[in-house]
Amino acid sequence: MIKEEEYAKRRTALAKKLKKHSITVLVSAKAQQRSNDTEYPYRQNSNFYYMCGFKEDNSALVIIKKEKKIKTYLFVQKKDELLELWTGKRLGQKEAKTIFDVDDIFTMDKFDKKVAELFKDKLSLYLDFTMQDERVDKLKKLGSHLLCHYNISHKVGELRLCKSSAEIALIKKALSITKEAHHLAMSKAKSLHSEDELQAEIEYVFKKQGAYSDAYTSIVACGNNANTLHYIKNDDKLENNKLILIDAGCEYDYYASDITRTIPVSGKFTEPQKELYSMILFVEKEIISMVKAGVMRSDLHSKSEELLCEGLISLGILKGNVKKLIKKKKLKKYYPHGIGHWMGLDVHDTGPYKNTKGKEIPLLAGMVMTVEPGIYIPQDDKSVPKRFRGIGIRIEDDILVTKDACQNLSGEIFKEIKDIESL
């Protein structure tokens, strides 16, 4: 759990980045319609949540900075007995005051009037332009007399880059559930018939162990389906001599996990599967061993390209010189994505990769990033020896950057061939 003091600390840290005489408004995520009058389960906007920890719809956070000090106001939904009968309990203003350590709490019906008042003597306005929300557009218009409109998302993103120990504890908890789900998949795959059946087993563990949901739609891709990077249909048969690429991770109390394992349906890797898998596993471990503060993510990517390319040459999948093959984008055909991304409240965390001057941000202690090399060989690729065609493999772990090295937070999830086969 993230304590109230931590949210207050985050707001103080944000305030240091804001201009004097500014107003910042963050609005909650909108409930999303699924069809007609049904909605998707509600999930709070990550930037808003990061700054105050409030989980309800129809709410807003306002931060006023005069000279140095800040004032923070939270706007919450009014209690409404009839609506609460249908959609569930609301905290309400009175109860919220006992929990949230802000300067004042108002109900949302006062929002327009209060914000218009607060806009009056300010010079700058910060909004989250990544939201694509008509409430943000309306606020932008309302504040059109202010000198500047700044996007707060980059600044909140900078704060979100390095995780606190409480955040790391939540990611670890998410990973402990995800570990159980992947291990169950390894032990059950042989007895199941379809990708969605396997998906159901994985997500059953997520729910049963108290995860709110999956952190992204699970990918359960058998055989050649693994060569579609964002394959989420998951409705094909499991075929006995094929591999299944499972990219699935739960979200626990708003924090993501993001894990890929590639396992044989039958419980035993075939020779070509083993050769390709061992090569990618070697690369994954090499890259993880390079992760520490000060290293550039782009260097990790370049190294992964070099090692994967060498690996593909040694397996007879590519022919030629490593540097030339990479330059001519021959490797990209089989390794089309990056080595990894920041992870946190969002699976692809919105923390920036470059600073405001456009310079790459090096790895910092406290960051969590994925390392996820993969090779994808389409079934119909005649340029590749037949034994490798239709194989797609990715291995993905979640890594905590520390000052002198790193910690593989998902290191307990089986990935050695002998361990996978043992399950």
Rounded CA gap, 54 and 51, in Å? 9
Active-site residue flag, 337: yes
> Closest distance between ligand GLY and the C-beta of residue 107, in Å?
38
The contact mask relative to Mn ion for 348-377 (x = CB under 5 A, - = no) is ----------------------x-------
Number of residues that bind ligand GLY (CB under 6 A): 7
CA-based nearest residue to 221, from 254, 265, 168: 265
56 in Cβ contact with 76 (< 8 Å) = yes
Q: Does 372 bind ligand GLY (CB under 6 A)?
A: yes
Q: Which two tokens stand for residue 164?
A: 């606190």
Q: Which of 30, 32, 80, 38 is nearest to 58 (CA)?
A: 30
The overall longest dimension of the chain from CA atoms, in Å, is 72
Write down the catalytic residue from 167, 258, 305, 397: 258
279 binds, among ligand GLY, Mn ion, none (CB under 5 to 8 A by kind): none
End-to-end CA distance of the chain: 33
Residue 397 site contact among ligand GLY, Mn ion, none (CB < 5 to 8 Å, cut-off depends on kind): none
Q: Which is nearer to ligand GLY, 47 or 178 (CB)?
A: 178
Catalytic: 37? Answer: yes
284 is a site residue for Mn ion (CB under 5 A): no
Per CB under 6 A, contacts with ligand GLY among 202-261 are: 216, 247, 258
Tell me the closest approach of the beta carbon of residue 363 to ligand GLY, in angstroms: 18
Which is nearer to Mn ion, 234 or 260 (by Cβ)? 260
The burial class, CB within 10 Å (0-12 / 13-18 / 19+), for 88 is exposed
| Structural contact between residues 256 and 213, judged by C-beta atoms closer than 8 angstroms | no
Give yes or no: 167 in active site: no
Beta strand pairing call for 60-65 and 70-76: antiparallel
For ligand GLY, the closer of residues 46 and 58 by Cβ is 46
Give me the 383-412 binding string for ligand GLY, x by CB under 6 A, dash otherwise: -------------x----------------
Given the residues 135, 301, 348, 387, the one annotated as active site: 348
When the beta carbons of 224 and 370 are compared against Mn ion, the nearer one is 370
Total number of residues that touch Mn ion (CB under 5 A): 5
Instruction: CB nearer to ligand GLY: give 90 or 341.
Output: 341
How many angstroms separate the CA atoms of 310 and 326, rounded?
10
Place of tokens 């709070």: 44
Q: Which residues touch 250 (CB under 8 Å, ≥6 apart)?
A: 174, 177, 178, 181, 206, 209, 211, 212, 213, 214, 215, 257
387 catalytic, yes or no? no
Catalytic residue, candidates 5, 67, 81, 230 = 230
CA nearest neighbour of 283 among 257, 302, 263: 302
Residue 216 interacts, among ligand GLY, Mn ion, none and using kind-specific CB cut-offs from 5 to 8 Å, with ligand GLY
- For ligand GLY, the binding residues (CB under 6 A) are 216, 247, 258, 341, 347, 372, 396
Q: Which residues of this protein are in contact with Mn ion, per CB under 5 A?
A: 247, 258, 260, 370, 396
